[in-house]
Amino acid sequence: MHITVIAVGRMQRGPEHTLVSEYFKRLPWKSNIIEIDIKKTAATSTERKAREAEKLLAAVPNGAAIITLDENGKALSSRGFAEKIDSWQMAGYKNLAFIIGGADGLCSSILAKADLKLAFGTLTWPHMMVRVLLAEQIYRAWSINTGHPYHRD
């Protein structure tokens, strides 16, 4: 399995970067983060989201399942998330692409292509924290699916 996180914005060195790196180091799966940097101009939020969408979608590996992080998405338990990842593996997916949009959210063109729209609850999270939460949940899903003792019910 290959995990790609595609996100708008650059993560600076700091505690969030350290945590994401630590969880991805623990995974036996290949994982990487592709950062999309869009310079803010006088464009409207709709125009900015459309420009971001072009770059985000261009970074998705061929044949990947697309998972968007969206506040209106489905809230899954950790076990439910692990089951989704397992079902994609069983269906033959070799790549999972997780997409995190910018401050204005994701363009409808990306949401329409999503195999899963995922929400981390109803709270609003800073984009860099979402990366940490996502990395931890991906690691947790791996641990659930392999019987590793990291996850406890």
Summarised one tens digit per residue, pLDDT across range 131-146 is 999 999 999 999 999 9
Beta-bridge partners for 6: 34, 99
Positive or negative, the Cα torsion across 22, 20, 125, 86?
A: negative
pLDDT of residue 53: 94
Average pLDDT, the chain: 93
Name the 3-class secondary structure at 101. coil
pLDDT of residue 125: 86
pTM of the model: 0.94
8 A C-beta contact, residue 8 and residue 56: yes
8 A C-beta contact, residue 142 and residue 28: yes
Give me the mean pLDDT over the 17-22 stretch.
Answer: 95
Q: How far is CA 21 from the centre of its chain?
A: 14
Summarised one tens digit per residue, pLDDT across range 108-122 is 999 999 999 999 988
Distances 143 to 45, 90, 150 between C-alpha atoms, Å: 39, 17, 6
Domains assigned to the chain: 2-146 (3.40.1280.10)
Return the minimum-mean-pLDDT range out of 28-32, 45-49, 70-74.
45-49
Exposed e or buried b per residue across 10-40, where buried means at least 16 C-beta atoms within 10 angstroms of its C-beta: ebeeeebeebbeebbebbeeebebbebebee
Residue 42 pLDDT greater than 60, yes or no:
no
Residue 40 pLDDT greater than 80, yes or no:
no
